[in-house]
Amino acid sequence: MKKAILMIMFLLSVQYGVNAQIMKLGLKAGVNYANFKSSELQTDALTSYHAGLVVNLKLAEKFSIQPEILYSTQGASYKNVVDEVKAELGYISVPVMVKVGLGKSLSLDLGPQFSWLASKNVDANTDVEELDFGAAGGLSLKLTQKLFLQGRYVLGLSEIGKNADIKNSVGQLSIGYMF
């Protein structure tokens, strides 16, 4: 959590020292539709949320880099012989998206996502890896100069279970505001 606070303070301090045409700071929040990908386990998706800070660094007319720092809740539920088991995992996620403009208000977003486990609420005795790595892709739509809408899919590339082949799979729909 200290790393997240330091990152937020850094992003806020840099915002005031850079020309607004090159760098913009914003907030975003939205809904997650999260599940596990596993060859060993059949799971049901959970609906959860994400929220955080966005920095857009414009490098060319239709090209920018957008690092973000988000709190994202993910997980899944599954039924065993006796009852339903839920796994709710809270991550501090840092996607670094490359944005390629597809027109005046639409962009294709692609990039890696690094996540650190911040909290876990698991009904079963399960060990969860502290780090998660994924690949993210989606689209952003500028509704106005400041308001935007994003759709994204994050495919987990690293196993989150220490004893099982389980990876995160998350669809996200966000709304955001750039200052």
Cα 133 to Cα 40, 102, 143, 174, distances in angstroms = 20, 27, 30, 20
Residues 6 or more apart whose Cβ sits within 8 Å of residue 10: none
pLDDT value, residue 10: 65
- Please write the tens of the pLDDT for every residue from 152-174: 999 999 998 777 788 999 999 99
**pLDDT above 80 for 4:** no
With H, G, I as helix, E, B as strand and everything else as coil, classify residue 17: helix
109 neighbors 139 (Cβ within 8 angstroms): yes
**Which pLDDT score, from 0 to 100, does residue 7 have?**
64
State how far the Cα of 86 lies from the Cα of 79, in Å rounded to an integer. Answer: 9
Q: What is the pLDDT of residues 76-119, one digit of tens each?
A: 888 776 777 788 999 999 999 999 999 999 999 999 999 999 99
CA 47-39-37 angle, 5° bins: 25
Please tell me the distance from the alpha carbon of residue 141 to that of residue 132, in angstroms, as a whole number: 27
How remote is the C-alpha of 19 from its chain's centroid? 27
Three-state SS annotation for 22-65: CEEEEEEEEEEEEEEEECCCCCEEEEEEEEEEEEEEEEECCEEE
